Chains A and B, each alone.
Chain A
Amino acid sequence: MKIFLEKKLIYIIEIIFFIFLIIATNFSYIFTRRIIAIVLFLISLFCIKFIKNDSNKNVHIKQICLLVLSISVVYIMCLYIMGLYFGYYTSPVKLSFWSIQTFIIPYIVIIISSEIIRIKLYLNSNSNISKILITIAFVLLDIILTTDIKNLNGLEEYVTIISFVIFASIANNLLFNYMVNRFKTIRANIIYKIITTLYVFFIPITPNIYVFFESIIRILIPYIIYAILEIIYNKKKIVKTSKRKKEEIVFVIIASIFITLVVMLVSCKFTYGVLVIGSESMTGTINKGDIIFYKKYDDTNIKRGEILVFSKKDVTTVHRVIDMKETTEGIRYYTKGDANIQKDNGYIQKADIIGRVFYKISYIGYLNLWISDLFK
């Protein structure tokens, strides 16, 4: 009877938690960080009082906390090392009395309270649906804390939020659930969250990493922590035939190389880049929906007839050079889309050129165009 009542209570807390998060999403101007912190603190107190936990704690807790602490610090260090390549910007919020009471203290309360709620609900919940709901609730909490989801505008913001916040939050919360489930502790989760959330307040500069890369790093780090913990603490090794093992390793290596190449090309931050063609101005040569591969412009001479990727007034264009004129201000390149009647307005100069097109693949970009059309 007592167990039955406790299960009921868990469902009630889950529902209250969920409803609170939904309301907070819709009234973000009322539910500031401080109010969220207070509500979560109250829910966590309620959980401590009414839900009892399994007292069998893992003997390696100290070791695990130290390991997670080290990985978190190495992760932050890697971000700053990457900053040497991408540059830095001054942190928008500096350490001050105001930032301590507005951000740091509420964040610490939110982190600790939410992890208490997690361990109480997750470990006492028997149904998978309930566990999925808990995970969704925590993802929702991350979204509320980082984004004004009601006022998103345009495809770019949606893609950024999905990649940078939602995917990263799913990966993090799966790791936190795993650690709670496997080691029966929330200390490691709290350490990881505090370090990775609050470091920006303590270091006056922040690495200006392209959001695309940071999104990928943020979903890879939880997996790395999980893999390390599994290697060290999983005593039940899976028995596999050597052929199967080999096949898996080959698959993972090939897939990883492929994905790395895709990431490098799409980012356009390296020597080679790809672009999806969204217009019909080069139809015949490059059609709408094709993707083009370009090599970054290396300051060498450009010949008439070459197809260039250039950017002028923040508009990226892929057109052919039809004429050149040498002036006192440098060479002017006149361009035109193969399917256009007129040449492009004005001219471009070396500084406008991004790269030279050297290859195309047909039709692959249609998915992107379809997604893009959805937001028009």
Chain B
Amino acid sequence: MKNYTLVIIITLLLAILVIAVGFATIATVNLKITGNAAASASQSNFNVKLTGTPTTGGSGTTTAEIANDGKSATMNVSGLTTKDQTATATFTISNESTDLKASVDATISSLTNSEYFEVSKSIASSTIAASGTTTITVTVKLLKTPATDQTSGEFTVTISADPAN
């Protein structure tokens, strides 16, 4: 009788190795280049900016205005008197590139009176198709009362946009 056991063990180990190579290959498929995928597209015309007329809503009086270059906007809110009252302004973000998608994001910083105000933002879609648009809604909420005319706060919402593939 031959020593089949060793042959079987070696065959089994090889089979397991083959399975391992197969599953490692599946994991490889998921890896992809990110960051320079848009190399073939023209980046010279990549331009994302605020456009149109902002819409406002909620309590109190809110005004919103976009600067001429479309790179910044201001939002003034007054008349929030009751706790948890909110005021909103919705801005349109346009991707003026004709061949690149844009990945947009927004951060809120430098809020000076966080004791009284909370600022949040919501982007409708984090990716804008070439020549497409999305909207960002900025919400200001009064956290506590009483708030007088002198109670004010300032904040900055920075929108960043990167080419996406």
Contacts and interface: CB of A to CB of B under 8 A. Distances in A.
Interface in A303-351: 314-319, 325, 327-328, 336-337, 340-347
B31 A342 contact: no
Contacts of B5: 227, 230
B34 A368 contact: no
B111 to A, nearest CB: 9
Q: How large is the interface on A (under 10, 10 to 19, 20 to 34, 35 or more residues)?
A: 35 or more
Interface string B1-17: 10101101110110111
Contacts of B67: none
Contact of B15 (A167, A230, A252): A167
Contacts of B162: 342-343, 345-346
Contact of A315 (B17, B30, B163): B30
Interface stretch (A92-100, A135-143, A155-163): A155-163
A279 B15 CA distance: 28
A346 B19 contact: no
Contact of A344 (B16, B20, B35): B35
B22 A346 contact: no
A316 B31 contact: yes
B1 A238 contact: yes
Contacts, number: 151
Nearest to B23: A212
A220 interface: yes
Interface stretch (B53-61, B68-76, B82-90, B102-110): B102-110
A203 interface: no
A278 B32 contact: yes
Given A167-B19, A345-B34, A223 B25 contact: no
A347 B33 CA distance: 15
Contact of A162 (B22, B29, B35): B22
Contacts of A223: 8-9, 12
A325 B109 CA distance: 11
Interface string A350-376: 000000000000000101110110000
A233 to B, nearest CB: 13
Contacts of B105: 346-347
A219 to B, nearest CB: 6
A265 B155 CA distance: 48
B27 A316 contact: yes
A267 to B, nearest CB: 7
Given A216-B16, A219-B12, A223-B8, A278 B29 contact: yes
A266 B20 contact: yes
A199 to B, nearest CB: 23
A-B pairs with lowest CB-CB distance, top 6? A340-B35, A159-B22, A276-B28, A368-B25, A345-B103, A279-B33
Given A155-B25, A266-B27, A344-B35, 8 more contacts: A162-B19, A212-B23, A230-B5, A238-B1, A262-B20, A342-B35, A342-B163, A372-B28
18 contacts: A156-B26, A212-B20, A212-B23, A223-B8, A259-B20, A262-B17, A266-B24, A266-B27, A278-B28, A278-B32, A315-B32, A317-B34, A340-B35, A344-B35, A365-B24, A367-B21, A371-B21, A372-B28
